[in-house]
Amino acid sequence: MAIGEVVLEAKAISKSFPGVQALKDVDFDVRAGEVHAVVGENGAGKSTLMKVLVGVHPRDSGEYRLRGKPVSFHSVHQSIAAGVSCIYQELTIVPLLDVAKNIFLGHTPLKPGGRLDKKRLYAGAADILARLDLQVSPRALARDLSVAQQQMLEIGRAISRKAGVIIMDEPTSSLTNKETQILFRVIRSLTEQGIAVVYVSHKLEEVMEIADRITVFRDGQRVATLRRGEYSHDLIVRHMIGRVIDNYFHKVKASAGEKVLEVNELTKAGVFSDVSFSVRRGEVVGFFGLVGAGRSEIMRAVFGVDGFDGGTVRVDGRPARFRNTLDAIGAGLCLVPEDRKLQGLVLKLDVQDNVTLVKMNELARFGVVNRAGDQAWARRFVKELDIRTPTLKKLTAELSGGNQQKVVISKWLMMDPKVLILDEPTRGIDVATKSEIYRLISDLAGRGVGIVVISSELPEILGICDRVITVFGGRVTASLDVADTDSEKIMKAALGGVS
């Protein structure tokens, strides 16, 4: 199709689930050669529309057309065959297959008689890898690739299927800034070839950089579609939440107290070495570095998830070497992990059980949980953190990402922590919920809790932290007072330049 022509068009799409109107009379289209970004709060309807478009969910009403012809996909296989591919945030790479077989999964080149055509397979994969600027061997096992490289493989798979429309759901959630720019170059290359890209993301700075048009969803409806030159950060946010967010980061300068956590020369062979830092009561300390720098690994060692070979940890001035996470929790440390679904929640349990999980032993007598006390605790934190759930018995898996994150945080707040470690606390969360979490961090610091925030977002580090510690190659390269630094100095230190 010619650049600028409508490739995929949806009209008056509605979709409901039991008790929820997920989409209501939504109009949406994407054109050949453009990046059409979709933004909105968690639960606004973005992902539901994408799943309707590719056949994961049937629509209740409305119609859509592909290249001007009415279509109705009843499965993902049908949408892929028609040239519409979706790359989800949860990767679908097969770890034990090599790169080439992952790229051509489902349509492997065959010789007459049905035998694998290895020459075409690996030559085709090499061509796609070159287009993606991905420096890996077509014969490398997918499990040996980084998460960012696996993400690029997903795009390669869509290219191999000659997709005319590629939907990307939070494509940069695991990418570094450099990898994100490589992805943007790939996206621009795709659009130059006439491919239409739908880009779903919470990262507004990225959206404004890459998008030709931005559609904003709120409460299951399309509230605005803005062209390049029409949109600004504040305008997008206002459309998303229906109001202006005042004091987005909610940073209140706290009076730092005594050292509550001290780490000296912590070392784990091949992972990190000679790591030293401290956290004071009421202080928010940011950990910043590129993916793979060792930030999360350092905190997992401190928290007792993984061991370490040398160095010391002190809590309130007393030596502490935790044999496991229970020891760390008992000493007053709590860790909100990066992957809330796999490491922070039991998705098949309801909100009440997830919130009170770490206090279950205290709420039980002779092995029987006091359900009234259990419910009272859960109700308290659901109210305090404004966890949006119709009932405490709602399955946690059915909540939005932002509300799931609030459940994880509330679980640890029940332990009244001395030190709260938050690993990428706002990843995949809408701007309004981010602001709520920033307010919570500021409030906790004001109560004297020592806070550690591991984040890949520099505006977040600068907006909520008192100090920032940069990590490169498993070593601390700088400890900077946020009031006396800027993003350039932080990035330089995170790239290995000692400040």
- What is the C-alpha to C-alpha distance for residues 102 and 356, in angstroms, rounded to an integer? 41
Residue 348 token pair: 């098949």
Reduced to 3 states (helix: H, G, I; strand: E, B; else coil), residue 485 is coil
My answer on whether 199 and 174 are in the same domain is yes
- Position 148 scores a pLDDT of 76
Token pair recorded at residue 464: 């909520």
Residue 102 inside a domain? The answer is no
State whether 293 and 253 are in the same domain.
yes
Say whether 299 sits in a helix, a strand or coil: helix
99 within a domain of the structure (yes/no): no
Distance CA 330, CA 333 (A): 7
Long-range contacts of 325-332 (CB under 8 A, 24+ apart): 328/302, 328/303, 328/304, 329/358, 329/415, 331/418, 332/260, 332/415, 332/416, 332/417, 332/418, 332/419
Q: Between the CA of residue 11 and those of 23, 85, 108, 187, what are the distances in Å?
A: 12, 20, 35, 26
In a domain, 477, yes or no: yes
How far apart CA 379 and CA 381 sit, in angstroms, is: 6
Same domain, 315 and 350: no
86 with 197, same domain: the answer is yes
Task: Look at residue 140 and tell me if it is in a domain.
Answer: no
Predicted confidence at residue 495, as pLDDT, reads 79
DSSP H helices, 54-210, are 76-81, 99-103, 118-131, 147-160, 177-192, 204-210
Residue 273 to residues 297, 301, 473: CA-CA distances in angstroms?
11, 12, 9
* Nearest CA among 256, 298, 263, 302 for reference residue 280: 256
Tokens 């793979």 belong to 292
- For residues 87 and 196, state if they share a domain: yes
Angle ∠(258,442,240) on CA atoms, nearest 5: 160
**CB atoms near residue 198 (< 10 Å):** 24
Buried b (16+ CB within 10 A) or exposed e, 298-319: bbbbbbbbeebeebebebeeee
Has residue 126 been placed in a domain?
no
Task: Assess if residue 152 is contained within a domain.
Answer: yes
Which stretches in the chain have pLDDT values below 50?
Answer: 366, 499
User: How far is residue 28's CA from residue 312's CA, in Å, rounded to a whole number?
Assistant: 56
Q: Which residues are within 8 A (CB) of 42 and not within 5 positions of it... i.e. 6 or more apart? A: 400, 401, 402, 403, 429, 430, 433
Q: What Å distances lie between residue 53 and 165, 213, 273, 370, 430, CA to CA?
A: 11, 18, 49, 46, 22
Residue where one domain finishes, among candidates 395, 415, 435: 415
Residues 222 and 369 in one domain: no
Final residue belonging to a domain, choices 394, 415, 436: 415
Number of domains the chain contains: 3
Give the model's pLDDT for residue 1.
63
Measured distance CA(284)–CA(298) in Å, rounded = 17
Do residues 45 and 151 both lie within one domain?
Answer: yes
132 assigned to some structural domain: no
Q: How far is CA 34 from CA 61, 72, 188, 213, in A?
A: 27, 23, 9, 8
Strand 61-66 and strand 69-71: pairing?
antiparallel
- Give yes or no for a contact between 102 and 142, defined as CB atoms under 8 angstroms apart: yes
Amino acid identity at 250? H
Residue-number span of the structural domain to which 163 is assigned: 6-93+145-241
Tokens 């992957």 belong to residue? 339
DSSP-based helix, strand, coil % in the chain, nearest 5: 35, 25, 40
Is position 350 within any domain? yes
What contacts 215, CB < 8 A, 6 or more positions away?
A: 28, 36, 37, 38, 39, 222, 224, 225, 226
Residues 216 and 251 in one domain: no
Total-model pTM: 0.66
Kind plus residue range of the DSSP H or E element containing 471: strand 467-472
How far is Cα 306 from Cα 324, in angstroms, rounded to an integer?
A: 8
pLDDT computed for residue 498 by the predictor: 55
**Judgement on whether residues 284 and 429 belong to the same structural domain of the protein:** yes
pLDDT at 363: 57
Of residues 4, 183, 196, the one with CA closest to residue 84 = 196
353 and 276 in a common domain: no
Strand partners, 168: 87, 199
Pairing label, strands 20-31, 6-17: antiparallel
- Alpha-carbon distance of 26 to 198, in angstroms, equals 16
Asked if residue 221 and residue 237 are part of one domain, the reply reads: yes
